[in-house]
Amino acid sequence: MQVLANGLALGAIYALVASCLLLIFGILEIPDFALGGRIMVGGYAGYFVAENLGLHYWIAVVAAALAAGLLGVVSELAVYRWLRNTPRPLLSGFIGALVLLTATEITVQLLFTADFRKLPSPYESQILDFAGIRMTEQRLLAGVVALVLIAALHAYLRGTRGGRAMRATLEDRRGAEIVGISPAKTALIAMLLGSCMAGVAGALLGPMYLVYPTMGDAILIKGLIVIVLAGMRSSLGAISAALLLGIAESFGASYLSVGFSDAYAFIFLIIALMVRPNGLFTKSVLVR
């Protein structure tokens, strides 16, 4: 049970990051590796608000969302918007995102050094013990908040005018433009939402796994694996794939070998793509 609980908690965070990546990729059509940098910026913003200003953890979470959201908007306006108009936008976006990630990490490292920092949270020292499962409140909270945010995103996409415009752009960019949906505005909103959620992820992870310049890298890779597993376009599939991946990693590390714990995600991906090349949760495409 402990192993399953570990896997589910891990999977929920993967799902949050994958949802951010999917939203941004769907609208901007850029694989946004720089999201790892914004997770980290969220972690740092939360740390400074909670540790240096002594404010409550939840205020730190809001600050993390705002800082990462702001960075996302700046990235879209200053970098991605221009790269989308180049002759090869996917390649340019790919390189641009990597440059942005590196630049963010190096800047933070120069400003704050590479020291580990623990984001203080009142939930980190509280331990829940239920049916043989031990878990800090922070870990449970991270999983629950991640799932609530994903649900809120879905509610926004389905229940609001802005969300429907975004879904229209996701379905058919040209069609959306024809009916008057501004692609630039939609991209900006997608970037803002995705980045704010990434910032929250940073603040949720900070108390457990510490804050440091490369803290977003590993989780970003897992997020990318999840969206490839799910089939690039399926948001509900991404949540399922994330939970499956978290559980697979946790069971693999506990019952096979912990030495390969980081490799399980890739092994899982390779096997899944061999069985279903279009992703686990996409409908098969019949090619005539």
d(CA 234, CA 240): 10
Contacting range for another protein; rule: CB under 8 A; set: 39-47, 61-69, 231-239, 251-259: 251-259
**142-147 — which CB contacts under 8 Å span 24+ positions?**
142/9, 142/12, 142/13, 142/204, 142/205, 142/208, 143/8, 143/9, 143/12, 143/13, 144/12, 145/200, 145/204, 146/12, 146/13, 146/15, 146/16, 146/201, 146/204, 147/12, 147/15, 147/16, 147/239
**Cβ 138 to another protein shortest distance, Å:** 8
**Cβ 252 to another protein shortest distance, Å:** 8
d(CA 144, CA 138): 10
Residue 169 in contact with residue 176, Cβ under 8 Å? yes
Q: Which is nearer to another protein, 235 or 250 (CB)?
A: 250
- List binders of another protein among 48-107 (CB under 8 A): none
Question: What mask of x and - would describe binding to another protein in positions 116 to 145, judged by CB under 8 A?
Answer: xxx-----xx-x-x----xxx--x------
Residue 73 in contact with residue 184, Cβ under 8 Å? no
Per CB under 8 A, 210 contacts another protein: yes
Binding-site size for another protein (CB under 8 A) equals: 36
Question: What mask of x and - would describe binding to another protein in positions 8 to 27, judged by CB under 8 A?
Answer: --x-----------------
Per CB under 8 A, 4 contacts another protein: no
- List binders of another protein among 32-51 (CB under 8 A): none
Question: Which positions lie near another protein, rule CB under 8 A?
Answer: 2-3, 6, 10, 109, 113-118, 124-125, 127, 129, 134-136, 139, 207-210, 212-215, 249-250, 253-255, 258-259, 261-262
